[in-house]
């Protein structure tokens, strides 16, 4: 089986739900994303969404020029060969963004799973049939907004809730965390992700309050590359420190983070850390050191389904993350994600197991590159 064509669509969608500031960095103009399709000479094809920052046309052109000639002619089942040769090619004359290769690696896995007539998680080697879900907030205006959302997530049966607080004022951020704990009571898991807004001194102070409030983990309080301070923080606090979702070149870049406990749990996802190969290598590496790999949201639901297949094929991940409210992100799939009693179930059909929503993708397509 050989790859004969790689199609790339540059897409934009603006859901109505989001307020200015929901993504912290200025006004939200809509999601820019790619939809890549890898076709073979045997009639099989696989498609996947790809992250594109603030410019689908910019990212699409950049990535297409490097990845299309790299993939055409390859056997999609030779994923490990492609992975290592892409690593070399990217080092020499590529230097693509961290989100470039993930969708293509994912398509290779989907083609392989389709050819084997297996759902992706079974093809990977399943560990479980469903995974507990947590709702992951956007940036909200006021502490009371987090309270309302956490209560809604709990009422819907989700297994946990994570706050992304604004980071403008440490005391206001802490107040939101306090109020949410008071509102949901003691027996509901809560996590905190300030997305690298504090320094070490502030993070120690913040983390000690989270410990008193029985938060389950404290994620990316410092930048992922702030290795020395993160290691100090992990040694100082008892609450697990979680990070590495934006470190480039998983799993190699995080081997040291795991071995010397820069963080207590690592992060990976199929969009930013090299597709299914990147996630599973990171998860297995972490597993060997007794460390959890908490899979990071990949934002777009077609990619989230791939994350879910990966979560179902690993033991060392407590939760499947979904951005919340879910309806703001529930586009791209012909059928919604299956969540019942707070557990998400990967589709039990070959490959991805669910069709993409091509009518919506057609409506979102600005350009084919």
| Identity of the residue, 149 or 193, whose beta carbon is nearer to Mg ion in the bound complex | 193
- Least Cβ distance, residue 24 to Mg ion (angstroms): 12
Phi/psi for 168 (5° steps) reads: -85, -30
How far is the CA of 290 from the CAs of 132, 176, 256, 284, 293, in angstroms? 20, 32, 14, 10, 10
| Identity of the residue, 37 or 196, whose beta carbon is nearer to Mg ion in the bound complex | 196
What tokens were used for 224?
């992922």
Give Cβ neighbours of residue 228 (< 8 Å, ≥ 6 apart): none
- Give the side-chain half-sphere CA count within 13 A for 231: 11
Tokens 């699409």 map to which residue?
Answer: 60
| Identity of the residue, 123 or 198, whose beta carbon is nearer to Mg ion in the bound complex | 198
- Least Cβ distance, residue 269 to Mg ion (angstroms): 10
Name the residue whose CB lies closest to Mg ion: 193
Q: β-pairing, 45-51 with 131-139?
A: unpaired
| Contact characters 304-343, Mg ion, x per CB under 5 A | ----------------------------------------
Q: What is residue 12's three-state secondary structure? A: strand
In the range 189-208, which residues lie near Mg ion by CB under 5 A?
A: 193
Q: Count interface residues toward Mg ion (CB under 5 A).
A: 1
In the range 154-193, which residues lie near Mg ion by CB under 5 A?
A: 193
- Least Cβ distance, residue 118 to Mg ion (angstroms): 31
**Cross-strand partners of 333:** 356
| Identity of the residue, 66 or 136, whose beta carbon is nearer to Mg ion in the bound complex | 136
Alpha-carbon distance of 74 to 200, in angstroms, equals 47
| Identity of the residue, 244 or 316, whose beta carbon is nearer to Mg ion in the bound complex | 244
Q: β-pairing, 31-40 with 45-51?
A: antiparallel
What is the signed CA dihedral for 289, 295, 298, 302, rounded to 10 degrees?
110
| Contact characters 203-242, Mg ion, x per CB under 5 A | ----------------------------------------
- Least Cβ distance, residue 297 to Mg ion (angstroms): 8
Contact present, 188 and 154 (Cβ < 8 Å): yes
| Identity of the residue, 193 or 264, whose beta carbon is nearer to Mg ion in the bound complex | 193
- Least Cβ distance, residue 249 to Mg ion (angstroms): 18
| Identity of the residue, 86 or 218, whose beta carbon is nearer to Mg ion in the bound complex | 218
Q: Residue numbers of the site for Mg ion (CB under 5 A)?
A: 193
């Amino acid at each position: 089986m050989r790859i004969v064509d790689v199609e790339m669509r540059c897409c934009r969608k603006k859901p109505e739900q989001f307020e200015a500031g929901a993504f912290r960095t200025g006004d939200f103009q809509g999601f820019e994303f790619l939809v890549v399709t890898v076709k073979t000479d045997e009639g099989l094809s696989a498609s996947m969404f790809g992250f594109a920052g603030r410019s689908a046309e910019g990212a699409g052109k950049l990535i297409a020029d490097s990845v299309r000639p790299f993939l055409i002619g390859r056997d999609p089942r030779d994923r490990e060969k492609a992975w290592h040769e892409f690593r070399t090619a990217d080092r020499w004359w590529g230097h693509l963004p961290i989100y470039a290769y993930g969708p293509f690696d994912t398509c290779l896995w989907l083609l392989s799973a389709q050819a084997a007539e297996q759902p992706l998680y079974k093809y990977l080697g399943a560990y479980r049939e469903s995974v507990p879900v947590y709702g992951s907030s956007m940036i909200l205006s006021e502490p009371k907004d987090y309270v309302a959302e956490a209560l809604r997530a709990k009422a819907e049966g989700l297994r946990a809730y994570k706050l992304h607080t604004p980071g403008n004022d440490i005391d206001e951020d802490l107040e939101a965390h306090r109020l949410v704990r008071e509102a949901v009571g003691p027996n509901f898991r809560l996590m905190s992700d300030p997305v690298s807004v504090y320094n070490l001194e502030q993070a120690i102070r913040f983390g000690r309050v989270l410990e008193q409030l029985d938060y389950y983990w404290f994620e990316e309080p410092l930048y992922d590359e702030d290795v020395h301070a993160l290691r100090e923080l992990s040694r100082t606090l008892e609450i697990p420190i979680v990070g590495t979702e934006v470190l480039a070149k998983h799993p190699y870049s995080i081997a040291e983070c795991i071995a010397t406990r820069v963080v207590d749990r690592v992060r990976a996802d199929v969009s930013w850390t090299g597709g299914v190969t990147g996630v599973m290598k990171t998860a297995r590496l972490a597993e060997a050191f007794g460390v959890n790999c908490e899979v990071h949201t990949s934002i777009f639901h077609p990619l989230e389904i791939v994350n879910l297949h990966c979560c179902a094929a690993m033991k060392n991940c407590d939760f499947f993350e979904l951005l919340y409210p879910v309806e703001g992100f529930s586009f791209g799939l012909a059928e919604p994600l299956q969540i019942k009693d707070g557990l998400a179930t990967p589709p039990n059909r070959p490959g991805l197991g669910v069709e993409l929503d091509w009518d919506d993708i057609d409506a979102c397509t600005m350009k084919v590159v």
